[in-house]
Amino acid sequence: MAIRENIIKLREMNQITQEQLAEIAGVSRGAVSQWEGGFSEPRMGAIQRMADYFNISKSNIIEDGGMNACYRSSIPGVMKVRGYEETYIPLLSFGKVHAGSLTDEEAAEKTINIPSNVANNHPNAFALEVEGSCMNHVIPEGAHILVDPDVYPSNGSIVVAETEDYQAIMRRWYKGSKSLMLVADSYEEFEDIIFTDDEHPIKVVGVVIWYQAAEEMG
């Protein structure tokens, strides 16, 4: 019954519905209902998709009490894990991501520490420092973010992207059938950035998969 209990706790901690978890796991809502009822268990592919999305280990879903080590961060889709060893990675050459620009390449003179399990799950991820207020409803200015260039964004994901007009920005990603919107999540007013299918001015640098606020930095 460990998986059943962990899935219920995972969903409740992230305040999402069975339908939303089903979309993340790539299954039907009925399948999630079966898991939570203890009538069936998810296949390993679905477990991996949930673990990847929430930045946790598969063992957090599979093992007894696995979700007891986890707590919810302020970013939807990003979990934090208690009690894990930490890994130091460089604050890479991009340096800082701003509401409207990504600084020129700079030498990486600083390192930041991140949970080892996050580093292991995202081996090609790199760190940036946040400037500006375009995402301060969820990620405060001065925070360090971890960006994975290998993760493809889903609707609602926070991405770092480069555009012709805005150089580099951090926004929520919403892709429709004929358009793409990059939306700020801020206490302040920012215009949505909208592209049509006929336009190709954007390059996704990566998806934000972890962050650390300035007041939490050692």
Any idea which residue has 């930041």 for tokens? 112
SS3 content of the chain, % helix, strand, coil (to 5): 25, 30, 40
DSSP state of 44: H
> What pLDDT digit, counting tens, does each position of 87-106 carry?
555 554 334 554 444 444 44
DSSP class per residue in 85-145: -EEEEEEEEEEEE-SS-BPPP-----EEEEEHHHHHH-TT-EEEEE-SSTTTTTS-TT-EE
Sorted by where each starts, the structural domains of the chain and their CATH numbers stand as 2-72 (1.10.260.40), 88-216 (2.10.109.10)
Alpha-carbon distance of 162 to 52, in angstroms, equals 24
Report the pLDDT value the prediction gives residue 34, as an integer from 0 to 100.
92
DSSP class per residue in 62-80: HSTTGGGGEEE-SSTT-EE
Alpha-carbon distance of 164 to 147, in angstroms, equals 20
Alpha-carbon distance of 35 to 1, in angstroms, equals 9
* pLDDT digit string (tens) for the chain, length 218 residues: 588 888 888 888 777 889 999 998 999 999 999 999 888 999 999 988 888 787 777 887 888 877 765 554 444 444 444 434 455 555 543 345 544 444 444 444 566 777 776 777 778 888 888 888 888 888 888 888 888 888 889 888 999 888 676 567 889 999 888 888 999 999 998 988 888 876 667 788 899 988 887 655 54
Report the pLDDT value the prediction gives residue 100, as an integer from 0 to 100.
43
> What pLDDT digit, counting tens, does each position of 43-92 carry?
999 988 888 787 777 887 888 877 765 554 444 444 444 434 455 555 54
Asked whether 36 and 94 are in contact (CB, 8 A), the reply is: no
pTM of the model: 0.57
Asked whether 171 and 134 are in contact (CB, 8 A), the reply is: yes
